[in-house]
Amino acid sequence: MEEAIKNLMDFVDASPTPFQAIDNLIGILEAHGAIKLDERELWQLEPGVSYYIVRGGSSLVTFRMGLKPPSECGFLLAGAHTDSPGLKIRPEKELQSRGYLRLALESYGSPILSGWLDRPLGLAGALAIQENQEIHQRLYISHEPIAVIPNLAIHLNRDINKGFEYNLHQQLPALFGLTSHKQKEPEAASEFGKTKEISGAFDSEILVRISQELDVDPKAIISSDLRLYDPEPTRIFDNSLINAPRLDDLAGCAALIEAFISLHAQASTQVACFFDAEEIGSMTTGGAQSSYLRDILARITLASRSLGQDFYRALACSACVSIDGAQAWHPGYPDKFDDFYTPLLGRGIALKSNANMNYATDFTSQQIGIRVASKADIKPQIYMARADIQPGKTIGPITASRTGIPTVDVGHPLLAMHAIRETIAASDHLDMIAFLRAFYS
């Protein structure tokens, strides 16, 4: 197996939420000599040295200072997102009904819900814990399945295979345990079997269990961001197809970090962005809609002994690549695709465009994508949705509009986007790495 493919599989398996993804990226960067910066401190930057900055524990920007000032050679930026559609729990709201313990859930992004049912699910995320008058972030992974979302028996829902809409509030809370049979049942028969809601972090069975694992007082848990995840590891079929959870967009993150750490400093400053919250509109402090990237680019320029206009000069001679999955042709649904503009698995990365700018690729930036692909000796596929279907958006248009930097959108062709498990071709991942290496160099 190609080392880069194994790295992708290991990265996905170790990153059930954006918090673990960022923690793993930090480990990779520090192993290659990157230095952590604090936004509250004065930055002293040296040519050729790599640095990184984290916001909120789920977003990260890393950069390698160019051998020439940004005002002369600008920035070469590439970005992906760390989050994926899924199910977040409401840990303070515990549901009990006839002895069943269930986790209240809410949808994060737009997941395909049906795939989450009837399979063992793990729990992972981050908690804010107060210790000695200070609040620390602690990461958590259950490592073992802890819950299941059971379907209704087909005998009671004969039409389920004809199409069924799940009610997230009522039908999808996850079963994670049973109360003691000695617990007193409701006195009134009319109340028997109704769901009882218990509010309050200190009454939450799931938070008590987590606090025991982390060896902390449950009352020390200030807040949490916990999500269900598929603990089944990444699989590769026929040494060509990779099936895994969260490939949208951990595959983009894995390709980006692989390319970034493999290169040396160039004249331009190389920047790699790993944004959270893309699946919910990027409107967070560490999302692509925030000041995060622009703040960092400005500070890099200022730390390079710049003049007043140098930041704007740097932006004007920069280029950007946005990396996110592209809907691959599906043989079971050929009528959903434009035959001429639909990428296939194993035929190369997709260069994505849309007349309404759901993707950032335009007349100018498409030339950047084609030139880079030629330099990497790969042939990209062109992706455009059917004229009567609007595709999803990426961080590309946001980055382009906030910085004024020409941006091209590319992606791994991907099957079952937003499902609990998705599929890409191993060869396309290698092509994505080659594309990014050529772009940065």
- Ordered structural domains, the chain, with CATH: 3-84+245-440 (3.40.630.10), 87-229 (2.30.250.10)
Cα(209)–Cα(224) distance, rounded to whole angstroms?
14
pLDDT of the residue at 298: 94
pLDDT of the residue at 194: 56
Q: Is the pLDDT of residue 410 over 60?
A: yes
Over the stretch 55-90, which tens digit does the pLDDT of each residue have?
999 999 999 999 999 999 999 999 999 999 999 999
The count of other CB atoms within 10 Å of the CB of residue 208 is 14
pLDDT of the residue at 121: 98
8 Å CB contact between 127 and 239: no
Residues 6+ apart with CB under 8 A from 29: 50, 52, 62, 257, 261
Buried b (16+ CB within 10 A) or exposed e, 248-263: bbbbbbbbbbbbbbee
In the numeric block, which tokens belong to residue 24?
């793993």
Q: Is the pLDDT of residue 104 over 80?
A: yes
Cα(2)–Cα(81) distance, rounded to whole angstroms?
24
Cα(75)–Cα(72) distance, rounded to whole angstroms?
10
φ, ψ for residue 103, nearest 5 deg: -95, 125
pLDDT of the residue at 188: 42
In the numeric block, which tokens belong to residue 300?
């890099």
Range with the lowest mean pLDDT among 25-29, 195-199, 376-380? Answer: 195-199
Cα(353)–Cα(363) distance, rounded to whole angstroms?
10
pLDDT of the residue at 184: 52
Band the pLDDT of 196: cuts 50, 70, 90: low
Cis peptide leading into 249, omega within 30 of 0? yes
Residues 6+ apart with CB under 8 A from 86: 108, 109, 111, 227, 228, 229, 420
Band the pLDDT of 181: cuts 50, 70, 90: low
8 Å CB contact between 177 and 80: no
pLDDT of the residue at 189: 39
Band the pLDDT of 182: cuts 50, 70, 90: low
Q: Is the pLDDT of residue 187 over 70?
A: no
pLDDT of the residue at 256: 98
Residues 6+ apart with CB under 8 A from 234: 8, 9, 12, 13, 242, 243, 244, 245
Band the pLDDT of 390: cuts 50, 70, 90: confident
Range with the lowest mean pLDDT among 127-136, 187-196, 269-278, 300-309? Answer: 187-196
Band the pLDDT of 344: cuts 50, 70, 90: very high
The count of other CB atoms within 10 Å of the CB of residue 133 is 5
8 Å CB contact between 87 and 227: yes
Band the pLDDT of 304: cuts 50, 70, 90: confident
Q: Is the pLDDT of residue 195 over 70?
A: no
Give the burial class of 382: count Cβ atoms within 10 A of its Cβ; 0-12 exposed, 13-18 middle, 19 or more buried: middle
Q: Is the pLDDT of residue 296 over 50?
A: yes
Sign of the Cα torsion 402, 407, 408, 410 reads negative
Instruction: Dump the DSSP string for 151-215.
Output: PPPGGG-TTGGG-----TTTT-PEEEEE--TTSPPPSSGGGTTPPEEEE-GGG-HHHHHHHHHHT
pLDDT of the residue at 179: 85
Give the burial class of 128: count Cβ atoms within 10 A of its Cβ; 0-12 exposed, 13-18 middle, 19 or more buried: middle
Q: Is the pLDDT of residue 185 over 50?
A: no
Torsion of CA 206, 209, 215, 218, to 10 degrees: 50
Range with the lowest mean pLDDT among 185-194, 229-238, 381-390? Answer: 185-194
Residues 6+ apart with CB under 8 A from 106: 87, 88, 90, 168
8 Å CB contact between 62 and 26: no
* pTM > 0.75: yes or no: yes
Cα(249)–Cα(230) distance, rounded to whole angstroms?
15
* Residue written as token pair 């760390």: 82
Sheet containing 59-64: which strands, arranged edge to edge? Answer: 35-36, 50-55, 59-64, 269-275, 75-81, 319-323, 407-411, 350-352, 381-383
8 Å CB contact between 299 and 222: no
Over the stretch 348-361, which tens digit does the pLDDT of each residue have?
999 999 999 999 99
Cα(343)–Cα(413) distance, rounded to whole angstroms?
6
Q: Is the pLDDT of residue 392 over 90?
A: no
Mean residue pLDDT of the chain comes to: 92
CA distances from 411 to 80, 124, 351, 414 (A): 10, 27, 7, 8
